[in-house]
Amino acid sequence: MRVLVTAYSCEPNMGSEPGTGWNWVKQIASRHSCHLITRENNVAAIEAEARKANLTGLTVHGYDLPRWARFWKRGQRGSSLYYYLWQLGLIRLAKKLDRQHDFDVLHHVTYVANYLPSGLAFLAKPFVWGPVGQHPRIPRAFIRTDDLRLRLAEVAKVGVKWIFRYIDPLFQKTLQNADVILSLSESFDQGLDTDNANKVIPYPAVGVDEPKVSDTANDGDSTFDVLYSGRLVDLKGARLVLAAFAEFAKDAQQARLRFLGDGPLSEPLRDAAVQLGIADHVQFNGQVPYEEALAAMQTTDVFLFPSFEGAGMVVIEAMAAQTPVLCLDFGGPGRMVGEDRGVRVPVESSFEATAQALSRALHLLATDETLRKRITDKALLWVREQMTWDAKGQRIEGFYQRAIDHRKGRAA
């Protein structure tokens, strides 16, 4: 098929959303004739990687707003507003490309935010939107009460999402014009009318390359290694990690916690480690290259990730590295771990009770090697069967055909 893809965030050899965008594009381009619209600063890396992968069917179109319309954007500051304007700005380019190539299907890949519109909704062609989703709201007990800015920011995020989803006419156009909506979770169709709800297919956005069985499950010493990898923010449960480990370390002196990542909680976590008397057992490695983070997962005993996010690509990566995952029974990580592919603990009514529950789970994993082996074997099997990028790529044509059939039904 001839497919037009938009992926605002798309970069090879990266984790998180840039890596997700690239891997979706790679799978599409390996099976179909693919034209990609992305940010200008992504083009060189994508074209270089496409040559390595022999993706001859991929054509990349870089697009950005004029300089006068983006001078105010600095890094993540203003990124949502810029993305919104970027989606509106690409409509003209998308229509021009469609006149030239007469696409069979349109596919919006990133951002995965299900409350922001897509410019592809303005073309009258079969349209796949997603996978899209959003982070659930962080329970109030798990947001720092000593920082008013963080509390107000969380309230503002909820308000902005509500405005986009229920008031913004461009979002409504995206919702109505989508023929297939790939959703990160089963909750997106709640509140939708029947016609739109019937277009929703729950489908995770994230995936991994084919896992290779490793014989380096740990580094051979007697230290029990706990690893966290991600932004140091409340959304990802970074403070819970430290609190749970501090409780666990009281009875496990041969234990080590490594933080991979950076963020606004970096200094507060370092100070807290000193106050808790565990500074000698905690390493803050900061932001590390993607490959280094993957390697670290293969040499740790437990991956502790009590995140509240809606997706959680890093969980799949830990499973592929044959590392037991300990998370909350909440959001994307809880769904991925499921009943038997890791250990998940309930979100208790307080921060302290939840940290203690995570600590007890750490003790269980530290003392039960059979349990660790059982859950990693089941996780690895699930990843291989359902969560590799190739397995996801095999389903793409089915989504496209469903969009085409739905579009024909509209015209009938």
DSSP symbol at 211: P
The CA–CA distances, whole Å, from 412 to 371, 385, 406 equal 56, 38, 10
In a domain, 321, yes or no: yes
In a domain, 16, yes or no: yes
Six-digit token string for 69 = 């319309």
Contacts of 398 (CB under 8 A, 6+ apart): none
| Closest by Cα among 57, 40, 48, 44 to 4 | 57
| Closest by Cα among 215, 245, 228, 214 to 366 | 245
pLDDT on residue 113:
80
pLDDT on residue 329:
93
Say which residue the tokens 């950005």 belong to: 64
pLDDT on residue 377:
94
Same-domain check for residues 279 and 189 = no
pLDDT on residue 160:
67
pLDDT on residue 332:
84
Contacts of 226 (CB under 8 A, 6+ apart): 241, 245, 248, 255, 256, 257, 258, 300, 301, 302, 304, 362
- H helices of 338-388, where? 351-367, 369-382
Same-domain check for residues 375 and 342 = yes
At residue 297, what are phi and psi to the nearest 5 degrees? -65, -30
Q: Note whether 189 and 114 are within 8 A (CB).
A: no
Tell me which amino acid residue 21 is. Answer: G
In a domain, 160, yes or no: no
- Burial profile 281-310: b = 16 or more Cβ within 10 angstroms, e = fewer: bbebeeebeeeebbebbbbbbbbbbbbbbb
pLDDT on residue 155:
63
Distance CA 382, CA 378 (A): 6
In a domain, 380, yes or no: yes
pLDDT on residue 76:
62
In a domain, 213, yes or no: no
In a domain, 212, yes or no: no
Same-domain check for residues 8 and 47 = yes
Which pLDDT tens digits describe the chain residue by residue (412 residues)?
999 999 999 999 887 789 889 999 999 999 999 999 999 999 999 999 999 999 999 999 999 988 877 666 666 666 778 888 999 999 999 999 999 999 999 999 998 887 889 999 999 999 999 888 776 677 777 777 666 666 666 666 666 666 666 778 898 899 999 999 998 865 665 667 788 888 888 887 788 887 765 555 455 567 899 999 999 998 899 999 999 999 999 887 789 999 999 998 999 999 999 999 999 999 999 999 888 998 999 999 999 999 998 777 889 999 999 999 999 998 889 988 988 999 999 999 899 999 999 999 999 999 999 999 999 999 999 999 888 999 889 999 999 999 999 999 887 6
Same-domain check for residues 86 and 184 = yes
Same-domain check for residues 230 and 379 = yes
Same-domain check for residues 34 and 112 = yes
One-character DSSP codes across 117-181 = --GGGGSSS-EEEEEEB-PPPPPGGGS-TT-HHHHHHHHHHHHHHHHHHHT-HHHHHHHHH-SEE
pLDDT on residue 226:
96
The CATH number assigned to the domain holding 263 equals: 3.40.50.2000
DSSP symbol at 234: G
The CA–CA distances, whole Å, from 400 to 216, 332, 407 equal 41, 25, 11
One-character DSSP codes across 20-89 = HHHHHHHHHHTTSEEEEEE-GGGHHHHHHHHHHTT-TTEEEEE----GGGTTT-BTTBTHHHHHHHHHHH
pLDDT on residue 72:
64
Same-domain check for residues 247 and 272 = yes
Q: Note whether 39 and 63 are within 8 A (CB).
A: yes
Same-domain check for residues 187 and 237 = no
Q: Structurally, how many domains does the chain consist of?
A: 2
pLDDT on residue 142:
77
Residue range(s) defining the domain that contains residue 360: 224-387
In a domain, 233, yes or no: yes
Six-digit token string for 343 = 């250990």
Same-domain check for residues 114 and 24 = yes
Six-digit token string for 177 = 């014009």
Residue 35, burial from CB neighbour count under 10 angstroms (0-12, 13-18, 19+): buried
Distance CA 103, CA 166 (A): 30
Same-domain check for residues 286 and 175 = no
Same-domain check for residues 236 and 383 = yes
Same-domain check for residues 326 and 342 = yes
In a domain, 62, yes or no: yes
| Closest by Cα among 214, 221, 269 to 245 | 269
Distance CA 264, CA 54 (A): 40
